[in-house]
Structure 1
């Protein structure tokens, strides 16, 4: 199971309200909501980090077909 985690700090003068803090910010997310207020992104940077399964977990899971880890 993948769990996306994102951390943002958006000053209230740009956000306009706490609506950007809600789980569902609508189509295109917070960037579209900021653009609606006239503060669209000028530059977008994204860092993605992926880690493999720990070796001890790989050994134990390899012998249990059809089982999903929690």
Structure 2
């Protein structure tokens, strides 16, 4: 059967933090609701689209945060 790592590699397994989502997109940003406590909680917004999102949401325009495009 192999080691856990070799079985994960064979399936192209990725941890939840490595999967594409708004939380690791360069256009996703944490936004705080401007209200008095206890309602002043953080949410997420898409700076490219200009709308609220959830941290686990995803779209076709996802760009990994910190990833540079190759210049040719």
TM, length-normalised to structure 2: 0.20
Higher relative contact order (CA 8 A, sep 6+): 2
Q: Whose strand fraction is larger, Structure 1's or Structure 2's?
A: 2
From the CA coordinates, give the structure whose radius of gyration is larger: 1
TM, length-normalised to structure 1: 0.20
Q: Whose helix fraction is larger, Structure 1's or Structure 2's?
A: 1
